[in-house]
Structure 1
Amino acid sequence: MSSHLLSVDSLSRDYVEHLMQLADRMEPFAQRRQVTRVLEGAVLGNLFFEASTRTRISFHAAFSRLGGSVCDTTGFTFSSMAKGESLYDTSRVMGGYVDAVVLRHPDQGAVAEFAEATQVPVINGGDGPGEHPSQALLDLYTIEKEFARLGKRLEGAHLLLTGDLKHGRTVHSLIKLLSLFGPLRITLVSPPGLEMPRHLIDLVASRGHRVEQRESLANDFGDLDVIYTTRIQKERFTDEMSETFAGISQDFIVDRAFLDKRCSPTTIVMHPLPRDSRPGANDLNVDLNGDPRLAIFRQADNGIPMRMAIFANLLRVEEYIERDAQDVRWFVPPSYGVDDRTL
């Protein structure tokens, strides 16, 4: 395993399973039952040159809950890159300041280029339409936890990936990660022109999985175990594409009616967030709020233990995590949301 986390391509099944076991150990700290200071004195550089709420704050919170401190920068405006500084120079300078870096950048491949200039661990927080490996890890962790609760197994499961499969870096990383397990049945549904890249379909099929592409959600999915839907990535559209996709059909929306009519009572619904809740956005419908099949907030919560596990592994402190752990002294609510429900 590299000292960086740049792509799912570098991960083995054994390593992924180890990270999930490590994330389980992080649950008492992530759920605010206990405190650990295993990274006390360590500093994280959280460099986000593209919009983010969950990923940036999740990484910040994960490092902090391990006892470390965080230096943040957001956007190009307040960075020396606005003055023409190269990724190489920024990387080398940051390596002298911090003990780990999380980088999000709008250009595919930019995080890997950044990592070439430093020996401190670098984590890819999303590189344009490329990859988002930590999101894929927390997604798989979520699927495993949901399946354990429902008495299901990942082997033989049927998963539906839908939405913008062309530009969605989360689904690019997830489908590659899923291909390490299985065998699985994976159905892909997206608006025309936003299909999953062919090389990813071929990769998954070559590993013995059944991959099916459909043109709409107007079919029954009674044996479906997981729906993973993604936002239409309009910020990555050209002007011509914006005109082409201005009126995407409502046939690609996952809502309560679709779940009730075409899926099973135990189908779980996931989304990497943010979901576009504006009218006509063609994203996961808010009418599922409060539905126990909706796992998106449990999924987001799982980002903390998984990212804590990634930090603990890359910074080699796994054996010290539970040492001197203490119970928290502040108020922690019994649940985080007002309508949290599980199946």
Structure 2
Amino acid sequence: MSFKGQHILSVQQFNRDAILDVFRIARQMSPYASRKKRTTVLEGAILGNLFFEPSTRTRVSFGCAFNLLGGEVRETTGMESSALSKGESLYDTARVISSYSDVIAMRHPQAGSVAEFAQGSRVPVLNGGDGANEHPTQALLDLFTIEQELAASSQSIDGMHIAMVGDLKFGRTVHSLSKLLSLYQNVKVILISPSELAMPDEILNALSNAGHQLTITDKLEGNLNADIVYQTRIQEERFPSKEEANRYRGKFRLNQEIYTRHCKSNTVIMHPLPRDSRLEANELDNDLNLNPNLAIFRQADNGILVRMALFALCLGVENQVDKFECAVPWYSNK
């Protein structure tokens, strides 16, 4: 895969070699993300950060990743603060904003909207989530996290055992992650959800066609003895009403007692965040916060590395980053 000048719209653009390239560059970004070094390789470049749906981590992570490469960020948040609320088309918005930017990151509530926007853009567009469809950069950072966490116990993604839990129907993060897992071999996948929120057939077919072993169930008990447990939030914003979403909230809670009883001693816990910590939901209990296998914050940190790598690759500077590095005067390794 040639990255330079290309949009990142779907995980289906990636093969294993392309994933290896992203991960290799992501690891090289570690000293810049941790502020041990600074690079100005994208000095003068502008990111158009367009988020037409609520976001904290993804929006800020894209912005921070670009800043850490030396670039500047211009943001639009919310549909109401954009010309889209006045009836402007995605194509027209793309033609205008891309003339102000060198690369664009975009989130939109409608499936397929980012690809539609990209048709009018003159610069690379990175999909930050389009409705219930895909979230490719989240899937890449999830896979990167899985690789890192398994490596600590001398395991690999090939042959691993993963349990995906919660809203698998509307959870775009598990859709995109599952498509990436289809590039690997001999993965055991347990899908735990209410039958009404089961994984879509398209995703099941992709996993099955890859030769993976699938188990579909609505019970946590007996199904958490995995290398990775990937918990998801009930996607309230995708339901017709809050009342309908409430029917499923809190169905699959994980706390330290359940972890000790049903998980392996080194089972890694992941979640794309935000986790719903309200009492009626409490997907991942706070009593897991001190569990060393809770990887949700390492997962979020990895989002910076992966998005830095994607920006560098799309703008063709991945081999120049260290040539523009300098010391960080405020860094202290105490």
Q: TM-score, normalised by structure 1?
A: 0.93
Per the alignment, residue 273 of structure 1 pairs with 273
* 2:316 matched residue in structure 1: 316
For this pair of structures, how many residues does the alignment match?
331
2:191 matches 1:188: yes
210, 225, 228: which one aligns with 1:226: 228
CA distance in 1, matches of 2:244, 2:67: 44
For the 8 Å contact 1:131–1:170, the answer to whether it is kept is: yes
* 2:153 corresponding residue in structure 1: 150
1:75 aligns with 2:71: no
Is the alpha carbon distance of 1:257 and 1:312 closer, same or farther for their aligned partners in structure 2, counting shifts above 3 Å?
Answer: same
Rounded Cα–Cα distance in structure 2 between residues aligned with 1:243 and 1:121: 39
What residue is the counterpart of 1:98 in the other structure?
101
**% identity of equivalent residues:** 49
For residues 250-281 of structure 1, give each alpha carbon's deviation from its aligned partner in whole angstroms, at most 9, with x where no partner exists.
Answer: 55112211210011111000000001101011
Give the equivalent residue in structure 2 for 1:341: none
Give the deviation of 1:69 after TM superposition.
0.3
Question: 1:141, 1:302 within 8 Å by CA — same for their partners in 2?
Answer: yes
Per-residue Cα deviation, 1:49-92 (whole angstroms, up to 9, x for no partner): 00000000000000000000000110011111111111000000
**Partner residue of 1:33?**
36
Change in Cα spacing, 1:7 to 1:28, as seen in structure 2 (3 Å) is same
After TM superposition, the structure 1 = structure 2 runs for residues 242-253 of structure 1, keeping only pairs within 5 Å, are 242-248=242-248, 250-253=250-253
Q: After TM superposition, what 4+ stretches of structure 1 lie above 2 angstroms from structure 2?
A: 242-251, 331-334
Q: Pick from 228, 235, 238: which aligns with 1:236?
A: 238
SS at match of 1:160: strand
TM-score, scaled relative to structure 2: 0.96
2:10 corresponds to 1:7: yes
Note if contact 1:144-1:154 (Cα within 8 Å) is conserved in structure 2.
Answer: yes
Consecutive unaligned residues of structure 2, counting only runs of 5 or more, are none
Q: Please name the residue that 1:168 is paired with.
A: 171
Output the CA distance in 1 between the equivalents of 2:274 and 2:222: 26
Work out the CA distance in 1 between the residues paired with 2:249 and 2:74: 43
| Inter-CA distance 307–332: structure 2 relative to 1 (3 Å threshold) | farther
The AA in structure 1 aligned to 2:138 is Q
Q: Would the aligned equivalents of 1:50 and 1:106 in 2 still touch at CA under 8 Å?
A: yes
RMSD (Å) for aligned C-alpha atoms: 1.4
Structure 2 CA distance, aligned partners of 1:84 and 1:332? 50
Superposed CA deviations along residues 89-138 of structure 1, whole A, max 9, x for unmatched, are: 00000111100000000000000000011230000000010100000000
1:77 alignment partner, SS class: helix
* Aligned partner of 1:138 among 132, 137, 141: 141
2:126 equivalent in structure 1: 123
Distance 2:254 2:122 in 1: 43
Q: CA deviation at 1:247?
A: 3.8
Return the offset for 1:282. 4.7
Paired residue type of 1:238: P
Secondary structure of the corresponding residue to residue 44 of structure 2:
coil
In the alignment, the residues of structure 2 paired with residue 297 and residue 303 of structure 1 have an alpha-carbon distance, to the nearest angstrom, of 10
How far 1:206 sits from its partner (Å)?
0.4
